[in-house]
Amino acid sequence: MSYLFLAATSLASEGAKADGLWDPMLRGLLVLAFAVLLFCGSVYLLLGTNLGARLGFLVTFSGLMGFMTLLSLFWATTATPITSLHGEEKHWEVKEVIEGGYGASSYQDVRTIERTGEKSNDAEANEIRATVDTALAPPDTAPEEEKVNQKFQDSSQYVQVGSALHIGGGRSSLVRNRPLYAVMTVQQATKQLNVIGEEEPTKDADPTKPLYSVILVRNLGSMRLPPIVTFLGSALLFGLSLLALHWHEQNQREAATTASPATA
């Protein structure tokens, strides 16, 4: 067993150096397989030796599902540790990039945001600007679907015009939320000659260039969904395993009662 574990670990470390599916899929699969084999398998081997194969498996499975129920409940109630099972975090999504003002937006709430919206604070504006930079000036290594709204080669080529605004949000019912919109307007920056005679963008907007209005919608994510699904599934299997243990005990009692000799 130890030889096979060392051989598989060596294979995983060599395979991780290659590109494609070998990195990191092979190593991850081997780590998972040997973790289940060593930890769960060793417990089952010990219990199966003392209780029998069937009862040992039921006790091992019940303990594992009980542990997973408690662990997933902990995951669902806290965001720490970082490596715990969790879903997608809250983030902004770019929905539209239109040339000109917000009046041409396909979202009705956004068309009047300059009158009815609120100014975003510095933290919110920085988060919005980071999302806008990713959409308007994605890196060269970004996939093609992320370059749909690309207007510039670099984020230093444009400047923000006005303040970032937001509108909406809050609950519309017990289980539904109103969409939260945010907008930001950018414009190409003017250029000036530097010391060595090359043109570089400045912090001033070029009034001769078009304005680009970016409309974003807040994605509330699904941080709690995976641990909640894991909790429900683990709790269901834990309950079924306890029921199977109860049935096994009843069968043992009935068998003992049937096998005992009748008294005169």
Residue 223 contacts by C-beta under 8 Å, 6 or more apart in sequence?
79, 86, 87, 88, 89, 90
User: What CA–CA distance (Å, rounded) separates 177 from 216?
Assistant: 16
Contact 167, 181 (CB under 8 A): yes
The amino acid sitting at 69 is T
Q: 206 near 190, Cβ under 8 Å? A: yes
Residue 221 backbone zone (phi > 0: left; psi -120 to 50: alpha; other: beta): left
pLDDT in tens, the chain (264 residues): 444 444 444 444 544 444 444 455 677 778 878 888 888 888 888 888 988 888 999 999 999 999 999 989 888 887 666 667 788 888 999 999 999 888 888 888 898 898 888 999 999 999 999 999 999 999 888 888 888 889 998 888 899 998 999 999 888 777 788 899 999 999 998 887 666 667 777 788 888 899 999 999 999 888 888 999 999 999 999 999 999 999 988 988 888 888 766 554
The answer to whether the beta carbons of residues 214 and 136 sit under 8 Å apart is yes
Closest among 179, 153, 163 to 95, alpha carbons compared = 179
